[in-house]
Structure 1
């Protein structure tokens, strides 16, 4: 069971994936060996995650809480977790050259058809602008923006740029947007540095006793 420190560490990984669909995969992570953290483990956390990912506008949150009861939000979180579970093997296959199958497409469509948007004129610091707003028709529409990002990755993304962190104990995913496309770590400041430190200590220790 994840403790407070594990959950806080998991929250700090949000934004490292470089693609919202991979961020969904990263909501369930093993940052400490044997300890699994889930950032969308309940309805409240799911809404917080949507807000962090800017999949829900900040000024929509109160309206959502008034529109949906606790059971609705819990059902949305459960569906998001199911989507995450279904997505993992699909991504594994996709990066090996196997396109999304009809079953996954049908599953996504079942969620996507609940979503809708409208445009409104709004005032910003730069002046008037038109922005797109979500229509929250029912509880499943809370998962529609996530499903749209998943579809966008599997249809329009570059599978060659999708990787898991090379850290020994890290299972986070990322979309490599670096110019050289040589990114190895979810974060250089964490997994990258840990790997460098381990390598440095191994070199400093020298060959193991009895080694040829």
Structure 2
């Protein structure tokens, strides 16, 4: 059994079983090198559309670099709070609260495609921080309501990816069996071969 060299992904991994954790995974180890998949506003926009936070036409234009800066800042604020929560510490929510405070939204009645009346929340966007407020809200909700025992990082020593363990037995160990689970199997196979 030989390991084939991994081809670096072109897009961030989407395997965490929660979009807030997928945001954290936009920074990952790829072939033992820490890679930030967000290098431009376009990268952030592509990710927002891919994870269905917004449709392409809903993303306004901001001053160049503003969306990238705000998204990276929000990502690290969330990462810090989650790491502290996992460590049993009380993180300072001030930075996340700052994003939440900037939200400008209101409910609006609308008819959906099935012809049913629904209530939608519309967001006025003026700054990148205001635009990202729905993600900050999702992160705040996740921090409050998610079972901290099920928020995990991959057990592979070279991996920094997060996931929410939704398996029935709650025994998930790897970000993905195709990525780190397979690497572990190959390493164990090699170790057994050397011991023979």
Structure with the bigger percentage of helix: 1
Partner of 2:50: 52
Which of 172, 175, 178 is 1:189 aligned to? 178
Please list, as runs of the form range in 1=range in 2, the aligned pairs for 1:23-102 lying within 5 A after superposition. Answer: 23-34=22-33, 36-56=34-54, 58=55, 61-65=56-60, 68-71=61-64, 74-101=65-92
Instruction: With the length of structure 1 as denominator, give the TM-score of the two structures.
Output: 0.79
Q: Distance in 2 between matches of 1:30 and 1:21?
A: 18
Relative to 1, partners in 2 of residues 1:21 and 1:123: Cα closer, same or farther, differing over 3 Å? closer
Q: Distance in 1 between matches of 2:137 and 2:41?
A: 20
Show CA shifts across 1:5-56 (max 9, x none).
5341x43x12x1122221121111112112x322322111111111112211
Q: Name stretches of at least 5 consecutive residues in structure 1 with no aligned partner.
A: 208-212
User: Do the aligned residues in 2 keep the contact of 1:40 with 1:46 (CA within 8 Å)?
Assistant: yes
Please list, as runs of the form range in 1=range in 2, the aligned pairs for 1:58-207 lying within 5 A after superposition. Answer: 58=55, 61-65=56-60, 68-71=61-64, 74-101=65-92, 104=93, 106-115=94-103, 116-124=105-113, 126-139=114-127, 140-206=129-195
Q: CA deviation at 1:134?
A: 3.2
Q: Distance in 1 between matches of 2:135 and 2:182?
A: 32
CA RMSD of aligned residues (A): 2.1
Show CA shifts across 1:175-201 (max 9, x none).
111111100011112211221122122
Partner of 1:6: 8
Which stretches of structure 1, 4 residues or more, deviate above 6 A after TM superposition? none
Q: Distance in 2 between matches of 1:98 and 1:143?
A: 26
Show CA shifts across 1:136-183 (max 9, x none).
321222211121122112211111111111123211011111111100
